[in-house]
A and B are shown apart, each in its own frame.
Chain A
Amino acid sequence: MESNGTVVSFDRSQFSQDALQRAAYWFTTDWDIEFVPLSDESPITNVVLRARNDRSSRMTGEIAVEFRQAVLDAQIRLQIGRETSGVRELILAKAFAEAGVLEPGEQ
């Protein structure tokens, strides 16, 4: 592991790669981010964040908490998406169906 990096560990059974990447996206301006899975057997993925500029260098103390929160949020979003994709399609289909949704006139 290189120096100057903060390591935040995630259990892959709880946090998907998708969530890690979506969260990481918002930190790419100020941080270099590296995903380091420990091994194929281990469920742990380490995410290494290295400060890229002055602003982020001052934040190395808080970054772990902030990043973890971002991943939690991303995971929640994915779960909402999974649970609601079916009903969302239904809603959109109904919304754009030719008849039946507050169109003027007779049926």
Chain B
Amino acid sequence: MGALAEIVGTATWEALPPSKRPGHILLTSTMGMSDCAGYAAVVADAGTVHHPVGSDAPVPLFQIDGVRELRDGHILAATPRTGVVRVLYRPESRHNVLFATEMCNSNCLMCSQPPKNHDDREALLERNLAVLRLIQDHPPQLTITGGEPTLLDDGLTSLLSVIRDRLPNTHVHVLTNGRRFAERHFVQQVAGVRHPDVTWAVPLYADVPWIHDHVVQSDGAFAETLRGLHNLALWKQRVEIRAVLQAHTIKRLSKLAEFVQRNLTFAEHVAFMGLEHTGFAVGNLPELWSDPADYQRELQQAATLLANAGMSVSIYNLQLCVLDRSLWPFARRSISDWKNVYDSACSNCAVVSNCCGFFEWNLKKHSRVFGPIASTA
């Protein structure tokens, strides 16, 4: 049953000789299923008429919309039970992600990937290891996210070890709440992998526990996260601090910056992130929404304080038109290339090529100062 739960393979539009077919998924927009034995699966266009496959060639067939968006080299996961085909890896993208689990020990008010209580760790670990086996190129970076990746326990150590061995030049960026790193033996275990290039990106939402704990909906989270961060530093791990810009965090943003500067000096980078209007953020938007036009002063104070102190600072997910010009040096093209879109108004903007654009789900609600910039003169 395990073998058929999910099929992971590398997409190919080109027909392959039989010896090369294992581990590959044939893509087709026409129907010519006569010679597909040996492929892991076939993915065809949903609108085409289906010819019956020979009874002695049981290759799973999937029919989906948008097969034409798939490319050679994409690594796909196809689930026979549901007929769903997912793209797990794109060699042409700079922003590939390994999804570790949907479970999480926090429940952030604005979580863009709402957690579920189903233990999917084993299945996803298998999937991710399968992907890693199939990667042929040398991606500059891989992000591990979830849910909460540290819930993988030994699985996280395995994942990092495999990446270390198979992709020695790939930087690994792990998005984690850091709370499990309060347990020293766990940090020791993970640090023991000795991966040469890992950064742990940990969110911190306030300089005081009651605000942070409220945002992540978990008592004691602030204390745990801080202890985790300090343990990471003890074990010489590289750390990045993230703060999502929403009403609860904006109020004391510059104090948060000062807190990071004084207490988390070892952090190599601080990222301020515009709110994603997806997941839990949608339901909680009334309490979370703050127009970027209204918090530029706070953001400026926070970013400048950290930059003055010699820390590397970035602003993610905020368009250049909503940012004060003094903050443009911190703005990054942060939205994954396969996720970002622009508003139709952006085609008239003088700086669109430097702007991160939008998440699709953010197009519905704009800042009151959103709009194309005529010129940078």
The answer on direct contact between A and B (beta carbons under 8 Å) is: yes
Contact B230 A102 (CB under 8 A): yes
A27 vs B359: C-alpha distance when bound (angstroms): 67
Main secondary structure on chain B at its contact with chain A? helix
A102 vs B236: C-alpha distance when bound (angstroms): 9
Give, as a whole number of angstroms, the nearest-CB distance from B230 to chain A.
Answer: 7
Cβ contact of A103, chosen from B188, B191, B234, cutoff 8 A:
B234
Contact B188 A106 (CB under 8 A): yes
In this complex, how many residues of chain B approach chain A with their Cβ under 8 Å: the count is: 8
Q: Taking the complex as formed, is B233 at the interface, i.e. its CB lies under 8 A from any CB of chain A?
A: yes
Residue among B184, B191, B234 with the highest chain A CB neighbour number at 10 A: B234
A103 vs B234: C-alpha distance when bound (angstroms): 6
A105 vs B187: C-alpha distance when bound (angstroms): 12
A103 vs B233: C-alpha distance when bound (angstroms): 9
Residue of B nearest to A100 (CB): B234
- Please name all residues of chain A whose beta carbon is closer than 8 Å to the beta carbon of B234 when the two chains form the complex: 102-104, 107
A interface bracket (residues with beta carbon within 8 Å of B): under 10
Tell me which residues from 229 to 271 in chain B have a Cβ below 8 Å from any Cβ of chain A: 230, 233-236
Contact B230 A105 (CB under 8 A): no
A106 vs B192: C-alpha distance when bound (angstroms): 10
Residue of A nearest to B236 (CB): A104
Contact A105 B233 (CB under 8 A): no
Give, as a whole number of angstroms, the nearest-CB distance from B27 to chain A.
Answer: 49
A105 vs B237: C-alpha distance when bound (angstroms): 10
Contact A107 B236 (CB under 8 A): no
Tell me which residues from 72 to 107 in chain A have a Cβ below 8 Å from any Cβ of chain B: 102-107
Given contacts A105-B236, A106-B235, A107-B188, 10 further A-B contacts (CB under 8 A): A102-B230, A102-B233, A102-B234, A103-B234, A104-B234, A104-B236, A106-B188, A106-B191, A107-B184, A107-B234
6 smallest beta-carbon distances between A and B, as pairs:
A104-B236, A102-B233, A102-B234, A107-B184, A106-B188, A102-B230
Would you mind naming 13 contact pairs between A and B with Cβ atoms under 8 Å apart?
A102-B230, A102-B233, A102-B234, A103-B234, A104-B234, A104-B236, A105-B236, A106-B188, A106-B191, A106-B235, A107-B184, A107-B188, A107-B234
A contacts, CB < 8 Å to B: 102-107
